């Protein structure tokens, strides 16, 4: 009889089974891609399966490597573009305002999930398309990431609840996206807040992360 923790065994089994599912999706993408008419769809499926497998496996790891924020942003932008194209939703322009050398510590897939969920939240608010601005900078005390959109903004009525699990203004949504953002940011020692932009329309999410030794160099 195994002495391994039953929870660990169950999680390892889940990871194994889900990786098999991702592999099946990859194989299906290869079959679809044989028809040139579906090349773009096949490429989207391959990238999504690879991204899912990477996130799943990284969940089992504990990484505190220094991460280039721009690299993480590149991956998140690729995901949101793929998602919007596959869902036949209006495109979103992502404008970058990044200070050179902004780095984070932690799990790269976790930070990608943070950005992707913020982008999806913005895309849902901007039903006819729009612009997302991403700023990254270092202050004397912290690393600051700002994600802003030009949607309708957040009503004062729901502002206190937007990070709550299962809170959503849309009946068919799980209401977990912003809760996931808050949970992952806190796991990395930071905080995330939401507000409406002082100038112009839209919402703004601010992530503050304390400097970790070596992270700002």
Domain ranges in the chain?
1-61, 63-210
Tell me the CATH number for domain 63-210.
3.30.565.10
Residues 104-156: pLDDT tens digits? 888 888 899 999 999 999 998 898 999 999 999 998 889 999 999 999 999 88
pLDDT single digits (tens) 176-199: 789 889 999 998 899 999 999 987
Calpha distance 117→168 (Å, rounded): 13
pLDDT tens digit sequence for 76-105:
999 899 889 888 899 999 999 999 889 888
Rounded alpha-carbon distances, angstroms, from residue 158 to 121, 194, 195:
14, 11, 11
The residue among 111, 25, 24, 29 whose CA lies nearest residue 65 is: 111
């Amino acid at each position: 009889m195994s002495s391994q923790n039953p929870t660990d065994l169950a999680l390892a089994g889940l990871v194994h089974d889900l990786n098999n599912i991702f592999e099946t999706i990859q194989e299906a993408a290869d079959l679809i891609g044989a028809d040139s008419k579906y090349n773009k769809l096949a490429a989207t499926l391959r990238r999504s399966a690879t991204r899912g497998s990477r996130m799943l496996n990284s969940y089992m790891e504990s990484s505190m490597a220094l991460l280039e924020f721009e690299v993480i942003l590149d991956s998140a932008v690729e995901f949101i573009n793929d998602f919007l194209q596959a869902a036949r939703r209006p495109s979103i322009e992502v404008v970058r305002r990044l200070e050179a050398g902004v780095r984070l510590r932690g799990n790269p897939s976790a930070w990608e999930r943070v950005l992707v969920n913020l982008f999806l939240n913005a895309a849902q608010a901007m039903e006819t398309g729009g612009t997302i601005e991403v700023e990254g900078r270092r202050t004397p005390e912290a690393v600051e990431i700002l994600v802003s959109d030009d949607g309708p903004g957040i009503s004062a009525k729901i502002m206190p609840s937007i990070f709550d699990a299962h809170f959503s203004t849309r009946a068919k949504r799980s209401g977990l996206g912003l809760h996931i953002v808050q949970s992952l940011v806190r796991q990395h020692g930071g905080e995330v807040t939401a507000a409406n932009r002082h100038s112009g329309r839209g919402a703004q999410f601010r992530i503050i992360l304390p400097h970790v030794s070596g992270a700002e160099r």
